[in-house]
Structure 1
Amino acid sequence: MLWNHQQKVNVGDIPVVWFTGRRLPMVHPAITILDESDVQENTPRQLILTKGDNCQFDDSFFYPVGQSYVHREEIIGLVRGHVPYIGRLSLLLNENPALYPAVATLIAVGLAG
């Protein structure tokens, strides 16, 4: 579940980052936040550094070439809740589209319950 009504990202928040041209988003906690001013627009701007929980190094290696931080406008939302293992189902369906009818039937039966 995502929330995107918060203007500022805080350390510990989990942003969902979707870089232009990438097929899938990246969902990792923010570990460093830098506030700087955008001189051209005279507005504050946040630069966010993320890092996966099971990784020794930050995520800057995964950012677009020449980019060391995530920009706030690249964040489509902040994680505010989750359903365990639902991501695995999504990956399974992406790899095996023929399973869509079976999964849809299981969901429908479960909801009708």
Structure 2
Amino acid sequence: MIPLLILGLLRQNPGSYGYELLALMEERHYKYIVNFTKGSFYYNLQQLEEKQYIKKVDQLDNTRDTRNYIITELGDKEFEKLMYKYGSKTEYVNLSFYAAMLFANEYKS
């Protein structure tokens, strides 16, 4: 579930850095959708990068040493897959369905 949230946020905010994404998750109260900690967030961010779903990009006007990320083509496919997985549930509607609906406008299908 955390990967869906990270990928969705990066689709909405390309070039964001890790702390910025974490702050958005906290600001938007995603903790009510999925239980996450700072450690689990950064672990998932690292896993997404290792799987090449996201990649670091250089920011020319950036004066601090931050890791800015964009979603890759492979990441877009994973996002679509996760949206289908969590957004097409027909049994009892649970919080994972609502997580998918946060990014309904980003989902092409």
TM-score bucket (shorter structure): under 0.3
Which structure has the larger Rg over C-alpha atoms?
1
- The answer to which structure has the higher helix fraction is 2
TM-score normalised by the chain length of structure 2: 0.25
TM-score normalised by the chain length of structure 1: 0.24
Higher relative contact order (CA 8 A, sep 6+): 2
